[in-house]
Structure formats: structure tokens, C-alpha cells
Amino acid sequence: MTTPDERSNLQPGRPLSGYRVLDLAGPMGVYCGKLMADMGADVIKVEPPGGDPMRDIGPFIDGRPGPGRSLYWLHFNTNKRSVTLDIDSSDGAATLRKLAFDCDVLLETGPPGYMDSLGLGYESLAADSPGLVYCSITPFGQTGPYRDFKASDLVGFAMGGYMYVTGWPHTPPTRLWGSQAYHTASNRAYIAILLALYHRMATGEGQYIDVAMQEAVAATTEHVNTTYNYTGESAMRCGFRHGGQFVATWRCRDGYASITTNTRAAWDDLRAWMDRDGMAGDLMDAQYDDHFVLRGEHSAHIEGLIQAWAMLHTRQEITEFGQSSHHPWGPAATPDEILENEQLWGRGYFTEVESPTGPSLVYPGDPYRLSGFPHPVRRTAPFPGEHNGEVLSGIR
């Protein structure tokens, strides 16, 4: 078995250079594999013959399905290599076992017991590779009464407790945009894998990591569970009337702007501006001096006045006033505005990468900066089995 140090010469320049990962994950874990690949790991995406079903998830380039055109696939599989294997067959399972012998991490999202049934579970592979870090992401974990339950991102978000407290008092529980439950599980798995690799550096021992999407989501609900535990009060959907601060997004003349009034100074500046515009109503009265009044019995009255005032101004006007006064106010940016944002381009967040299927593609980068490391996107997502020759020819 080669070591990460020996492999790092093949792809230098990123924090995880030299580490090799077998990625058998579906949508629940695909982001975890991307995070490792973007940090320099050699992530080998194992697909069934004919390609991973995620390749058929839209939207597609120019709205036309076809090979290499799924924007979902292109986003989540940058920097990965691809091999095709039928791991349900004895030959495919044997090949995967050989690949695992020369890998540091195996990532999978199959149902509990599935990999064991193929002879590819952690105990079996660790017998040959005691340093292997093996990570399983499932909806509810490998144990417990729900272990065999099926769940989508929507169900994970709901059963993790986040959906019930998201939205407005008069609306049903609301799901966040995108597959945030899947991404949360992937993020937790990524952190756990890094910790396991760090542990291995000190001990030489691998780890089995059991990530449950439900637990990953439940861990993000802040004080909701502890509040009920210690007060008996069940948190409800409250829009932007958050218990800790008043953060609201208002319809304005040309879109939406977010205004945070979590300090007395911010609240005073807002109502003074409204007063100059003749739109403050009675908000200059002493009973409204405390900014916590925004969450009290007068909240509906106050919100109505702020909303009427906000329609007088543009997002830019609100943003510039707030920022010049050192308050966290800003516009609600649309997708096209994000893609043209001078701050993101100025920091090198976006980059253009040559595409084998046509024009170059614009990719987002890391949401952080590590000094001395280049932009993470080295190559676009692979075609099915694109690297069969170079990967499979090297196994014993």
C-alpha cells in the first residue's frame, strides 16, 4: 500500500494532496466527496456501468439533457476521477476490495447492511487495511429503531426538527432551498473524516464513521431542543422574530433588503431615518426606545411601518446607509447578481475551467482562503469510467 506522502508527489499543492478516497456516495454524501477533492485528495468516484444516476439530475446546460450536461453533476464532482464497477457482482466487489487496499478513505451512502452483504463492510476491509477510514452516511444511522427507514432530503430536514421551526406563524413548516439536509450530513462527515485521519497520524489506526442525516440536521437547530428541555416551551415558526435578534428582509423599491436591528444604535438610526422621511408614525415615542420592542406586542404595528417606509428606497440606498453607519444591512442578491458580484470575483471565488463538451464553465471555489494554496478547481467532473485505465491497471 502506498502512503499519502508517497502519493503527494503526484498532485502537490493542496492540504489533502496524497490522500486517496473511494467515493461510492449518492446525493446524501456527494458534497463530502467534493469537499475532499477540492482540498486536493485523489477522489475516485465509483459508478455503476452506464454511469451514476446523479448524471441525470437537472438542470442541464442550455436546458438539454445529455452526457456531461447535468449542472448538478458538474458542480458536485469537480476534481474527481471516475471508474465504473458493478460492485454487486463478485468480480466488481473483488476489484473494489483491491482498490480499497490502496486508499485512505471509503465514503458510502448505502442502506445499513448493504456493504456488509457484499463483503465490503468496514470490518471486512479493515482486516486487510487497518488504517482505512470508512464513512457511512445514512438517513438515521446504523443503529436504532429507524435504521432501515428511507428518507429524502425533505424528510431529513423535517425529522431533524428544522422544518417545524422554519417559516412564518401562519404558514406550514417550510423547507430551505436546495438539499440542505444532504449538505449538512456531508459537512459533518467531512469534519469527522478529517478528525479520523488526524487520529490515524498519531496511532496508525483507522476508524468507522457512522453519520446520521437526522442527527446532523438536529444539531443545527440551535437552542430549540434545550429550550424545551429546560422551560417546557416549544419553539414555533416566527419569521424574522428571532429570540436573539431582529433580522428582517423587507420589500423595497427594486427588490429586497435585509436590515439587522440587534443593537439600540441600529434601531435608533433606522427610526430616525424613517422620521426624516415622514414615515415613522409614532415610533419616535419613548415606548419604542428599547430595540427589544421589535419582538413584543407591538411587533405587527412596527413591521407595517417599516415595510411602508422601505418601499421608498432602493436596496443600494438602504445598504449604503446601513454600512456607512456600521450596521449589518445589505441587499438580497439574485443568482445573476451573485455571478456578477465584484467582491466574489475580486477575491477569486469564481474561476473558468475548460470544458470537454463546449465552452468553458464558471465554477465557484472554496468559501475560505488558505495561504499558499491555489484555486481548488483543477478539472471538470469526469465522464463515466473516464479513468478506468489509469486506476484499474494499477491494482494488484
Does pLDDT of 86 surpass 60? yes
Whether the pLDDT of residue 245 is over 80: the answer is: no
At 380, which amino acid appears? T
- How many residues make up the chain in this entry? 396
Cell numbers found for residue 342: 465584484
Who has greater pLDDT, 68 or 202?
202
- pLDDT of 368 higher than 90: no
How confident is residue 8, by pLDDT bands cut at 50, 70 and 90? Answer: low
CA-CA distance, 180 to 156, in Å (whole number)? 9
Q: What is the pLDDT of residue 379?
A: 85
Q: What is the pLDDT of residue 257?
A: 98
User: Using an 8 Å Cβ cutoff, are 388 and 377 in contact?
Assistant: no
CA distance 258 to 182: 27
Please report which residue ranges of 250-333 form alpha helices under DSSP H. Answer: 264-276, 299-310, 315-324
Quick one: pLDDT band at residue 354, thresholds 50, 70, 90? confident
Longest C-alpha distance within the chain, in Å? 80
CATH superfamily, with its number, for domain 4-220+365-392: Crotonobetainyl-coa:carnitine coa-transferase; domain 1 (3.40.50.10540)
Is 247-334 assigned to CATH 3.30.70? no
Fill in the amino acid letter for 308: A
Q: How far is it, in rounded angstroms, from Cα 185 to Cα 29?
A: 7
106 or 13, which is more confident? 106
Residue 22: is its pLDDT beyond 70?
yes
- Average pLDDT for residues 50-67, to the nearest whole number? 93
pTM: 0.92
What pLDDT digit, counting tens, does each position of 122-177 carry?
Answer: 999 999 999 999 999 999 999 999 999 999 999 999 999 999 989 988 899 999 99
Residue ranges of domains in the chain: 4-220+365-392, 247-334
Please, how many CA atoms are within 13 Å of residue 169, restricted to the half-sphere of its CB? 6
- More confident: 375 or 383: 383
Catalytic one among 242, 327, 375, 387?
Answer: 242
Q: Are 261 and 291 in contact (CB under 8 A)?
A: yes
Considering the chain, what percentage of its residues have pLDDT values greater than 70?
Answer: 95
pLDDT number for residue 233? 80
The alpha carbon of 328 is separated from its chain's Cα centroid by a whole number of angstroms, namely 24
Query: Residue 27 and residue 109: Cα distance in Å, rounded?
Result: 8
Q: What's the CA gap between 70 and 60, in Å, rounded?
A: 5
pLDDT of 390 over the 60 cut: yes
Distance CA 314, CA 208 (A): 53
Residue 268 has pLDDT above 90, yes or no: yes
**Looking at residue 371, what is its pLDDT?**
81
Beta strands in the chain (DSSP E): 20-24, 42-47, 81-84, 105-108, 133-138, 207-212, 247-252, 255-260, 330-331, 350-355, 358-364
Extract the C-alpha cell encoding 172.
406550514
| Residue 33 pLDDT | 98
Compute the CA torsion angle 386, 389, 390, 391 (nearest 10 deg): 80
Backbone angles phi, psi at 294, to 5 degrees: -65, -20
Of the CA atoms within 13 Å of residue 268, those in its CB half-sphere come to 8
CA-to-CA separations, 232 to 76, 221, 228, 236, in angstroms, rounded? 42, 16, 4, 13
Distance CA 274, CA 305 (A): 9
- Rounded CA-CA distance 273/279 in Å is 9
Residue 312 burial (10 A CB sphere; 0-12, 13-18, 19+): middle
**Three-class SS of residue 58?**
coil
What's the rounded mean pLDDT across residues 71-95? Answer: 97
- Give yes or no: 242 in active site: yes
pLDDT tens for 323-340 read 999 999 999 999 999 999
Mean pLDDT for the stretch of residues 389-394: 91
pLDDT higher than 60, residue 10: no
- pLDDT at 239 exceeding the cut of 80: no
**How much is the pLDDT for 376?**
73
- Across all residues in the chain, what is the average pLDDT? 92
- Per the model's pLDDT, the better-predicted residue between 373 and 130 turns out to be 130
Using CB atoms within 10 Å of the CB of residue 159, give its burial: 0 to 12 exposed, 13 to 18 middle, 19+ buried: buried
Phi-psi region of 372 (alpha: psi -120 to 50; beta: other; left: phi over 0): left
Average pLDDT on 24-30 reads: 99
Among the listed residues 386, 390, 393, 395, the one whose alpha carbon sits nearest the alpha carbon of residue 47: 386
Q: Give me the mean pLDDT over the 24-51 stretch.
A: 97
Q: Which among 1-10, 269-278, 350-359 has the top mean pLDDT?
A: 269-278
How many CB atoms sit inside 10 A of residue 366's CB?
Answer: 15
